[in-house]
């Protein structure tokens, strides 16, 4: 059984339908990518999973139908969403942002251990731990957003455009940490990313969306070997 499964999912903003029957599955300890041009429906797919957009079809988490549950309840079940634009709380310090990520937890000793792990995972944050998030660079804010999601101890992380607006070297550092996080924390991931080279450093397989529909899907190696995918997403 898949950990997370979408079956014929549609999603709309008002009268505008954006997703038209999306189906995909995420196995336990797996990572899958969502590729596609702007407007393809990648971000809306993540919003459908986390319950922030009007949705039909079925979204199953550990076999339970969570369609339309809403963000608080999906977060409580173990789905952490790192939205495009990062979403850190600017007036709070780095440490306090991490504590916000752990707000549903009661294991104080383990929370402290996990904060130390996050600061080791993202050394830039170690030096800024008392700084307000608003004072961080864009790359540091993205690192903090990923770390805050981890602090919830989720089963699944939904990662939306983590490289957006970052210099290539900074984006690479973020994704190197995401690879390590996946390996060490054994957390499953759905990764939305325009830069397929970065996405393919993390995921095992991917689905390509076009105008809210699944255009093709396959393993990382299969997609990297397709001329059309390589030209569109890999710069070659």
Q: How many C-beta atoms surround the C-beta of residue 93 within 10 A?
A: 16
User: What are the distances in angstroms from CA 64 to CA 57, 67, 69, 141, 225?
Assistant: 13, 9, 11, 33, 35
- pLDDT at position 213 is 96
- Residue ranges and CATH numbers for the domains of the chain are 4-233 (3.40.50.300)
- pLDDT at position 203 is 97
pLDDT digits (tens, 9 = 90+) for 9-23: 999 999 999 999 999
- pLDDT at position 130 is 95
pLDDT digits (tens, 9 = 90+) for 60-72: 999 999 999 999 9
pLDDT digits (tens, 9 = 90+) for 218-233: 999 999 888 878 777 7
- pLDDT at position 235 is 60
pTM for the model stands at: 0.94
For residue 154, the number of C-alpha atoms closer than 13 Å in the C-beta half-sphere is 31
User: What are the distances in angstroms from CA 18 to CA 5, 50, 66, 190, 210?
Assistant: 19, 16, 20, 19, 10
pLDDT digits (tens, 9 = 90+) for 132-175: 999 999 999 999 999 999 999 999 999 999 999 999 999 999 99
How far is 183 from 129, CA to CA, in rounded Å? Answer: 25
Burial 143-168 (b: 16+ CB within 10 A, else e): bbbbbbbbbbbbbbbbbbbbbbebee
- pLDDT at position 82 is 95
Would you give the DSSP letter of residue 132?
Answer: B
- pLDDT at position 224 is 87
How far is 102 from 151, CA to CA, in rounded Å? Answer: 5
Angle at 189 between CA 184 and CA 100, to 5 degrees: 80
pLDDT digits (tens, 9 = 90+) for 75-122: 999 999 999 877 788 899 999 999 999 998 899 999 999 999 999 999
- Can you give the three-state secondary structure of 63-128, one letter per residue? CEECCCCCHHHHHHHCEEEECCCCCCCCCCEHHHHHHHHCCCCCCHHHHHHHHHHHHHHCHHHHCC
When pLDDT is cut at 50, 70 and 90, the band that residue 194 belongs to is confident
Contact 146, 87 (CB under 8 A): no
- pLDDT at position 174 is 96
């Amino acid at each position: 059984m898949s950990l997370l499964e979408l079956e014929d999912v549609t999603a709309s903003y008002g009268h505008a339908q954006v997703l038209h029957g999306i189906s995909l599955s995420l196995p336990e300890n797996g990572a899958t990518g969502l590729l596609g041009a702007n407007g393809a429906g990648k971000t809306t797919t993540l919003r459908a999973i986390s319950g922030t957009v009007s949705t039909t079809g079925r979204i199953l988490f550990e076999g339970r139908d969570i369609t339309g549950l809403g963000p608080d309840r999906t977060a409580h079940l173990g789905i952490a969403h790192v939205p495009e634009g990062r979403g850190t709380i600017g007036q709070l310090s780095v440490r306090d942002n991490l504590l916000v990520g752990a707000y549903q937890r009661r294991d104080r000793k383990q929370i402290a251990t996990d904060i130390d792990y996050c600061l080791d995972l993202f050394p830039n944050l170690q030096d800024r731990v008392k700084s307000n998030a608003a004072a961080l660079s864009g790359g540091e804010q993205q690192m903090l957003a990923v770390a805050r999601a981890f602090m919830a101890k989720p089963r699944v992380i939904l990662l939306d455009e983590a490289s957006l607006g970052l210099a290539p070297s900074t984006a690479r550092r973020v994704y190197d940490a995401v690879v390590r996080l996946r390996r060490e924390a054994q957390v499953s991931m759905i990764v939305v990313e325009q830069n397929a080279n970065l996405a393919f450093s993390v995921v095992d397989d991917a689905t390509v969306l076009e105008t809210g529909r699944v255009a093709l899907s396959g393993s990382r190696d299969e997609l990297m070997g397709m001329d059309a995918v390589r030209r569109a997403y890999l710069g070659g």
